[in-house]
Structures are given as structure tokens and as C-alpha cells.
């Protein structure tokens, strides 16, 4: 599925006046591509995701999914939040089946599909455990499988690795990037981590300070054959990192 973000602006009405979160943002996310959005905190990244998820409507502009305006939440779009939000009182198996269960789609075929996902991503032996018995990386995989279980065409990922320590984060982000590529989904990742964006994406959209505008768009075609770990060691990596760092105009 492809996404078009077409001159989107978003202003919130707050008690002490208007907050302009996004201003005239346009970019596209082609079918089967992995796009990261990086930007300083408060620049409207989460706002953009909630517009894409159909949870809010833009003040101006349009968001299109396969050419059709996004008018509200749709099952074509799956969401992976910052915390894995697995339920401790449910087994891993019952956690990953939550989506189909809520939709009344807990069929034999669906269960087979979820079973295959668990096996493919080395979680089958843990299906009867509860979340606290899994490592941080396994929990993230489990959260991703839960999102994939309802077969969305698009995945939205909101800083999904922010709760993990650095080493785990490197390994898990590489792992998750591989799973998403294998699944052939269109994915949008929000992150403030430049290295993570370079290691995982086909395209990076850099947003400015609030109100978020598009500062730059980078296509990572020269690194497309490299996996996330190889990218981190590639000669192009540092140059691109420096360029995005400049574009972000980070103040400390
Ligand atoms: P980011 O994810 O990049 O940190 P957000 O999208 O969360 O940024 O927020 C962008 C700006 O919009 C912030 O100033 C935030 O306070 C404001 N904002 C976000 N949601 C709302 C809301 N529902 N009502 C009012 N202001 C909001």
C-alpha cells in the first residue's frame, strides 16, 4: 500500500491559544518501503502518526492510502506503540491473538497464520509463557507479531525501541527491520535516533522544530543491499548522520 501526505497542516486548540504542530507537510511512502520520520521532540511526529492512524483529522491538507483519503481508523493500518503493551495476565499465545479475537476473526486459518509467525520468529517455544518471562527483544517481536496478526498493509511504529537498553535496541531494531522487510509491508517509523533511522530505512524524512515542516528527504538507495548492522559500519553512514544532524539543528 502506498501513502501520500499532501500539504498537511495541524493546529490544536489549547486553553492558552493555538498550537501549530505541523505546517504544510508533504511526502510519500511508496508501496513496500520503510520510511523513518526523524525530528526534535515536540515537532509533531506523534501527531503525524495519529493523523495516519485516522485518530485525528488534519486542519488542512490530505492523507491518502492507496489514493483514498484516510477518514478514520482502518484495519489496513497496524500500530506498534512505544511500550509493547502486552498483557501480563494473558499467555504469549493469547496476547498475539488479541487483535483477531477483538475483531471476531479468531478462526482456524488465522490461528495457523499466527502459529507460523511465532515459529518463524523463534517464539513458538514461549507461547504458553507470560510476557514477564520473555526478554525485552522477545517482547518486541511478540508485539510486532500481534500487530501483524490482523494483516495490516501498513505498519506505524512510534519509537518502538525507546524502552530498551542500547545493546538490546541495536539487536532488536535489526531484527524488527528484517521481519518487516520479509513481510513486505509498508512501514513508517517515528524516531529521534538518527542512527536507527539510517540503519533501518529506505527513506528518511527530517522534520524541523515545531511547527514541523519537511527539512529534507533522504533516499538510502546506495545502502539498500546492506542489513542494519552493515549499514552502521558503512562509509556513507557517518556522512549521512552528520548531514541529518545539521538539518535537525539540535540545541542543547
Ligand atoms: P513529537 O511526537 O514530535 O514529540 P507531538 O506530535 O507529540 O510531537 O506534539 C507536537 C506539538 O503539538 C507539541 O507542542 C504538543 O504539545 C502539541 N500537541 C500534541 N497533541 C496535542 C493535543 N491533543 N492538544 C494540544 N496540543 C497537542
- pLDDT for position 27: 97
Sequential pLDDT tens for the chain (252 residues): 999 999 999 999 989 899 999 999 999 999 999 999 999 989 999 999 999 999 999 999 999 999 999 999 888 999 887 788 899 999 999 999 998 998 888 899 999 999 998 998 889 999 999 999 998 888 988 998 999 898 899 999 998 888 778 888 888 888 888 888 888 899 999 998 999 999 999 999 999 999 999 999 999 999 999 999 999 999 999 999 999 999 998 776
* pLDDT for res 167: 85
- What is the atom index within ligand 1 of the atom nearest the CA of 13? 25
Residue 144 CA to ligand 1 centre (angstroms): 25
Closest C-alpha among 216, 65, 231, 72 to residue 155: 65
Distance 21 CA to ligand 1 centre (A): 6
In short, whether 42's Cβ falls inside 6 Å of ligand 1 is yes
In degrees and rounded to multiples of 5, residue 154 shows phi and psi of -125, 140
Architecture of domain 1-76+154-172+183-252: 3-Layer(aba) Sandwich (3.40)
| CA 158 to ligand 1: nearest atom | 2
- How do the domains of the chain map onto residue ranges? 1-76+154-172+183-252, 89-151
What pLDDT, on a 0 to 100 scale, did the predictor assign at position 86? 92
Q: pLDDT tens across 47-62, in order?
A: 999 999 999 999 999 9
Cα–ligand 1 centroid distance for 209 (angstroms)? 12
**HSE, side-chain direction, 13 A CA sphere, residue 5:** 27
What pLDDT, on a 0 to 100 scale, did the predictor assign at position 173? 87
62-to-25, 111, 171 alpha-carbon distances in Å: 10, 36, 36
The answer to pTM > 0.75 is yes
pLDDT for 32 equals: 93
For residue 182, the model assigns a pLDDT of 86
* d(CA 64, ligand 1 centre) in Å: 22
Amino acid at each position: 500500500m502506498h501513502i501520500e501526505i499532501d500539504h498537511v497542516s495541524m493546529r490544536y486548540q489549547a486553553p492558552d491559544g493555538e498550537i501549530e504542530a505541523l505546517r504544510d507537510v508533504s511526502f510519500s511512502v511508496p508501496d513496500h518501503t520503510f520510511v523513518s520520520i526523524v525530528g526534535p521532540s515536540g515537532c509533531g511526529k506523534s501527531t503525524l502518526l495519529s493523523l495516519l492512524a485516522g485518530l485525528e483529522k488534519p486542519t488542512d491538507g490530505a492523507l491518502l492510502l492507496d489514493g483514498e483519503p484516510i477518514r478514520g481508523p482502518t484495519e489496513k493500518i497496524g500500530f506498534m506503540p512505544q511500550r509493547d503493551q502486552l498483557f501480563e495476565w494473558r499467555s504469549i499465545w493469547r496476547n498475539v491473538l488479541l487483535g483477531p479475537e477483538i475483531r471476531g476473526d479468531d478462526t482456524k486459518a488465522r490461528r495457523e497464520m499466527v502459529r507460523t509467525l511465532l515459529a518463524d520468529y523463534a517464539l513458538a517455544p514461549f507461547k504458553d509463557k507470560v510476557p514477564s518471562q520473555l526478554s525485552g527483544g522477545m517482547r518486541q517481536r511478540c508485539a510486532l507479531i500481534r500487530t501483524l496478526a490482523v494483516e495490516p498493509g501498513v505498519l506505524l511504529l512510534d519509537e518502538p525501541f525507546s524502552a530498551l537498553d542500547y545493546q538490546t535496541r541495536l539487536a532488536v531494531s535489526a531484527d524488527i527491520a528484517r521481519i518487516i522487510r520479509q513481510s513486505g509491508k509498508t512501514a513508517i517509523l517515528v524516531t529521534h535516533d538518527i542512527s536507527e533511522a539510517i540503519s533501518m530505512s529506505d527513506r528518511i524524512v527530517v522534520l524541523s522544530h515545531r511547527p514541523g515542516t519537511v527539512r529534507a528527504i533522504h533516499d538510502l538507495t546506495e545502502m539498500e543491499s546492506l542489513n542494519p548492522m552493515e549499514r552502521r559500519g558503512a562509509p556513507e553512514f557517518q556522512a549521512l548522520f552528520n548531514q541529518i544532524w545539521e538539518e535537525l539543528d539540535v540545541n542543547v
